[in-house]
Amino acid sequence: MILYGISNCDTVKKAKNWLEMHNIDYKFHDFRKQGLESEIIQGWLTQIPWDKLLNKRSTTWRNLEPEVQQSVNAENIIQLLVENPTLIKRPVLKVNGIINVGFNADTYQGIFN
């Protein structure tokens, strides 16, 4: 099991706290520090629509040129996310090959019970 995100994200902190409270072992991958391979994102996109993975409320998104924002599509999303991993909605949890985006205690409860 891998929890992907960035260390200083409040939602990632909530997910980490939830996992630790429930004594669930996980590996944390900080994609700001460790980066992400395009193959990882490509794997996520087999289960998650790209527009659900893209965080349009992030500071990184708001700082992109309007032309870049308007040109985002299924063909160029992987490269954009590799270059700007903070555009990924956090956290991304991979459990037994299943991808879950975001944190919700009830969802996590369902995943682990």
Helices 10-21 and 105-112: crossing angle in degrees, nearest 10, is 40
Find, among 76, 73, 77, 111, the residue nearest to 95 by Cα. 111
For residue 104, indicate whether it is catalytic.
no
Choose, from 3, 9, 15, 88, the residue flagged as catalytic: 9
Q: What residues are labeled active site?
A: 9
